């Protein structure tokens, strides 16, 4: 026969186990990273970049649908492995972008890769570009238009492309 002390210990363990099982859904919600859509990441990058440019007393960039299309195509190509993470093909994007403007243009491109959760991509891309001198130069360059593309790889990684044009 079990002693009263041993039965209390067993009952106590069961009570703790039941409380943990009951609390699991609440804990999961509390600590889970919220999934952010590709469109929301794109909007976040656009907002963060323009807010940063305003801090530097630079003009806000206007989104241009043709540049968004070109940036998105490159982000998808990298995410799907058709091209490595690089600026490869920038000449083609530059030539294609000329079709969206009535005059000659100057252009730059920033790219970003991350395995962070989707909720951290917009901020992470801006911080990464600020910390990289060539990307920072493009970020604060004399441009008026932008296009942003975001794609998610099959492994969950994210690719961000931002085109700048004047």
pLDDT on residue 16: 46
pTM, to two decimals: 0.80
User: Residue 33 forms beta bridges with which residues?
Assistant: none
Q: Residue 120 gets which letter from DSSP? A: G
Encoded tokens for 42: 């794109």
pLDDT digits (tens, 9 = 90+) for 17-66: 445 455 445 444 444 456 899 999 999 999 999 999 999 999 999 999 99
Q: Residue 34 gets which letter from DSSP? A: P
pLDDT on residue 35: 81
Instruction: Supply φ then ψ for residue 55, to 5 degrees.
Output: -60, -35
pLDDT digits (tens, 9 = 90+) for 88-121: 999 999 999 999 998 889 999 999 999 999 999 9
pLDDT on residue 102: 87
């Amino acid at each position: 026969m079990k002693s009263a002390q041993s039965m209390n210990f067993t009952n106590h363990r069961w009570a703790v186990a039941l409380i943990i099982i009951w609390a699991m859904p609440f804990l999961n919600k509390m600590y889970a990273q919220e999934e952010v859509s590709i469109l929301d990441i794109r909007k976040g990058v656009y907002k963060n970049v323009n807010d940063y440019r305003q801090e530097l007393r630079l003009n806000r960039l206007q989104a241009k649908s043709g540049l968004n299309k070109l940036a998105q195509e490159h982000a998808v190509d990298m995410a799907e492995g058709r091209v490595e993470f690089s600026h490869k093909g920038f000449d083609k994007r530059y030539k294609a972008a000329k079709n969206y403007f009535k005059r000659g243009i100057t252009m730059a491109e920033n790219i970003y890769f991350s395995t962070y959760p989707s909720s951290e991509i917009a901020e992470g891309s801006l911080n990464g570009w600020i910390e990289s001198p060539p990307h920072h130069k493009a970020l604060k360059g004399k441009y008026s238009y932008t296009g942003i593309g975001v794609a998610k790889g099959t492994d969950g990684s994210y690719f961000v492309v931002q085109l700048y044009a004047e």
